[in-house]
């Protein structure tokens, strides 16, 4: 079995002093297919049957959501940064670790989605994406991430599950 955590490189002081960045590039280069298979394995078949689409959060969430959508024959939904959609139905501003940002999404029709991103740090992005998707008409079933920086968050949104492949307790 692949040791996914060993393939994630720590980069100190990036993007600013005092921050330890978890670089997933080596993992994706050498073990992308295994990573997608492992992420798909975080939910059982009955759980996947209840999902209509994987909603990737720009930009690295697109990598995982699109590959999972293809593998599982599900739809793929993009949650974009502000100004990237021609006619966004909804807009949500939120706080980042290093400032503020905004997300946009097209209107939904009750589709059941799983929100996907690369890293769960403080939870601000997932929270904003969930609020946005809910307001836009989607039914948020849960959250899936490659890395959960558990020491930075106690993330929870309406008691929906969070699935992660790699966890860091500190």
**What does the alpha-carbon distance between residue 155 and residue 29 come to, in Å, rounded to a whole number?**
29
Among 60, 112, 131, 135, the one annotated catalytic:
60
Among 30, 93, 97, 112, the one annotated catalytic:
97
Task: Give the 3-state secondary structure percentages of the chain, helix then strand then coil, rounded to 5.
Answer: 30, 35, 35
Q: Is 97 a catalytic residue?
A: yes
Q: What are phi and psi of 130, to 5 degrees?
A: -65, -45
* Beta bridge partner(s), residue 114: 54, 142
CB count in 10 Å sphere of residue 105: 25
Strands of 16-149, DSSP E? 20-23, 53-57, 75-81, 90-96, 99-105, 112-120, 139-149
Q: Is 60 a catalytic residue?
A: yes
Is there a contact between 94 and 124 (Cβ–Cβ < 8 Å)? yes
**What does the alpha-carbon distance between residue 163 and residue 99 come to, in Å, rounded to a whole number?**
26
Q: Catalytic amino acids?
A: 60, 97
């Amino acid at each position: 079995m692949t040791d996914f955590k060993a393939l994630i490189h720590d980069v100190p002081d990036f993007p600013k002093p005092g921050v330890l960045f978890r670089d997933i590039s080596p993992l994706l280069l050498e073990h992308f297919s295994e990573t997608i298979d492992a992420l798909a394995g975080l939910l059982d078949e009955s759980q996947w049957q209840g999902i209509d689409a994987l909603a990737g959060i720009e930009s690295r969430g697109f990598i995982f959501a699109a590959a999972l959508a293809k593998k599982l024959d599900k739809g793929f939904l993009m949650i974009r940064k502000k100004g990237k959609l021609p006619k966004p139905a909804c807009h949500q501003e939120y706080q980042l670790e290093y400032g503020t940002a905004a997300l946009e999404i097209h209107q939904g029709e009750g589709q059941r989605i799983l929100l996907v991103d690369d890293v769960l740090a403080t939870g601000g992005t997932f929270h904003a994406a969930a609020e946005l998707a809910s307001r836009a008409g989607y039914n948020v079933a849960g959250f899936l991430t490659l890395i959960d920086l558990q020491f930075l968050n106690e993330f929870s949104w309406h008691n929906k599950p969070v699935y992660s492949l790699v966890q860091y307790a500190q």
